[in-house]
Each structure stands twice: as C-alpha cells, then as structure tokens.
Amino acid sequence: MSRHPSRQRLQRWLDTGETRRVDRHINECEHCQSTLDALTELDDEVVADLQTAVAPPDDLHDRTNVGVDGRLRSEAATGVFADLFLVGWDVVHTILDPTTDSDMTQPDQIETDGSIR
Amino acid sequence: MSSRHHDADGRPPEEQLRRVVEQHAAAVYRVALTVVHDAALADDVVQETMLKAWRHSPVAPGEAIPKAWLLKVARNTAISLLRTRREDLHGPETLPEGAGGPETTRTVEGRAQLDELWELMRHLDEDARTLIVLKEVDGLSYDEIAATLDLPLSTVKTRLFRARKALKDELKDWN
C-alpha cells in the first residue's frame, strides 16, 4: 500500500482489525502510527485516575526491604540448619555403620596437647 | 559503584538491592497488580522479583539493573504466582484496600470512580492492561515495552493502539 489509509480506514482498522494490507502498512509507517496514537490517546483525567488506581501503598519500600531481608535471613538460617543436619547424619551413619572398624564403645581420650590416646 | 562494594559471590550488596527497591519497586508493584489484582499478592511479587534481581542480576555487579529486565521478571513472576493460586482467588471486584497510594484519603465518590475504572480495565485482557500501565502510568518508551514483553516494536505499537481503543470504548459504554 503506497498511500496512507484515511483516518476513517484507520479507525475501522482499530474497530475490526481488518486488513492484513493495512496491518503491514501501519507496521512500517510512522506517519500512520502517529495518527493512530492521536486517535487512541487517553484523556488526561483517565490517565491520572489510572495512575492513582495502580499506585502502590506508601510503605511499599519499607515492606519490601523488611520482607526481602527476612527471606534472605531465613534462607541463610535454613542453610545452617541443613549443614548441621548433614553433620549429625554423618555422625549417626558412622555409629551405625557395621563396616566402621573404630571402637565406638569407648570414647577416645583427647590429651591436653590435642593428641588422641 | 566500585567492586569493593560487592560481596564475595559478586552479587549486588544489600545497599544496591535497597537502591533497586527504591527505584523500581513501584513500577514492579504496578505490573504485578495489573496481573494479579490483589495487593497482598502484588506485594509478594515485588519481594520475589527483588530476590530474583539479587540472585540472578543480568548485569555485572555495580551496574544498574535494566528496568525492562526487572519488569519482565515481575510480570512472569506474577503470572506464575497467579497460576499457582488461581483456585484460591475469586477476583476482587474492587481495588484492594491500600491501593491508591498516597491518596488514600480520597473521598468515597473518588474511590468508587477508581474502582469502576479498574473494573473496566479488568474487562481488557492482561496484555492490554499491561501495555496501558507500562505506557501511560510508567511512561516506558515503546522500545522498553518491547523489551519487557518480548514483542517486536511494531506489535507493541499496534497492540497498544488497540488496547487504548478498547479502554476508550469501555469508558464510552460506562458513561
């Protein structure tokens, strides 16, 4: 389509989506895009109401920071707990494993210099 | 921000995360609310999005996180959250309490008008609502919207024209 569609035709395109030919033209034509921009421009009052309608609560930043900090701390604590659990499991496994040849009936005696008797 | 401000794993430090919250939390909240229609869920999306920004920042430590990337994460997080909780949601007919931000002292009449406008927005599909909010409220450029929604530029424009037309039609019917 070499010529620009009329405003009526662009309006019809908005209403019905016809036709592929107009589609193609609009996709490539900044002039028609500007016309459509003007045809569909929202009133300032509507935009202002929209801005208010989706405005976040006043304390959004504080709530987000507190929530994110809490999540990060909780995850860090979960990681420590998981590590402790794994250490505990290793100990239990060592005690119960019959292939372990160390004598667990008598606890090792640790000397004051750190050596094991 | 120099590299000495980053932790051992190279993730943005808390200070940087707080800056991201300060700069982008409101826009993330709006995108989230547009998808989930629930203030508490939108809050969850904001927090989840910020955590994702902390863990998976697409830029080198110290560089500003692109707004379009953050909003894309927010939208995907909101859609995902909505899918998992859809059964529990009954679709509030009005804006959640607390929406309306600093103007929470609006008159009852003003509040009702906002509720009605929001209800009209709910008649549009999610794509159309998001396009309108990103363009009209957040003032994103067409390029930024295209990056946020993963759409070609021309598609963003034509869909936005149609979205605004649809909202205007809804407003006309309402009036």
Residue A66 lies in a domain: yes
The answer to whether A60 contacts B17, with C-beta atoms less than 8 Å apart, is no
Nearest to A36 by CA among A49, A53, A22: A22
Is A39 within the bounds of a domain? yes
B144, B116 contact by CB (below 8 A):
no
Q: A34 and A62 share a domain?
A: no
Architecture of domain B1-92: Orthogonal Bundle (1.10)
Establish if A2 belongs to a structural domain.
Answer: no
Do A34 and A65 sit in the same domain of this protein?
A: no
Taking a contact as any Cβ pair under 8 Å apart, which residues of chain B between 82 and 111 contact chain A?
95, 98-104, 106
A38 and A13, same domain (yes or no): yes
The per-residue pLDDT for B152 is 94
Q: Are A33 and A26 in contact (CB under 8 A)?
A: yes
Q: How much is the average pLDDT of B88-92?
A: 52
Distance spanning both ends of chain B, measured CA to CA:
52
By CA distance, what is A24's nearest residue in B? B154
Residues of B in contact with A37 (CB under 8 A): 161
Cα distance between residue A8 and residue A11, in whole Å: 5
Prior bond to A19 cis, omega within 30?
yes
Where are the CATH 1.10.10.10 domain residues in chain B?
Answer: 105-175
Of the residues B35, B45, B104, B168, the best mutation for testing chain A's interface (the one with the most A CB atoms within 10 Å of its CB) is B168
Q: Which of B23, B22, B57 is nearest to A63 (CA)?
A: B22
CATH number of B105-175: 3.40.718.10, 3.40.50.2300, 1.20.1250.20, 1.10.10.10? 1.10.10.10
In the prediction, which pLDDT does B8 show?
Answer: 52
pLDDT 10s digits, A57-93: 999 999 999 999 898 888 777 766 666 666 666 776 6
Evaluate whether ipTM surpasses 0.85: no
d(CA B31, CA A56): 11
More confident residue, B6 or A23: A23
Asked if the C-beta of A82 comes within 8 angstroms of chain B's C-beta atoms, the answer is no
Q: Which residues of A touch B100 (CB under 8 A)?
A: 52-53, 55
Please check whether residue A74 lies inside any domain of the structure.
yes
What whole-number distance in Å separates Cα of residue B117 and Cα of residue B121?
Answer: 6
Phi then psi dihedrals of residue A116, to 5 deg? -105, 130
The total number of structural domains that make up chain A:
2
Q: CB distance from A37 to chain B under 8 Å? A: yes
- Domain coverage including residue A86: 54-97
pLDDT digit string, tens, across residues A100-111: 554 444 444 444
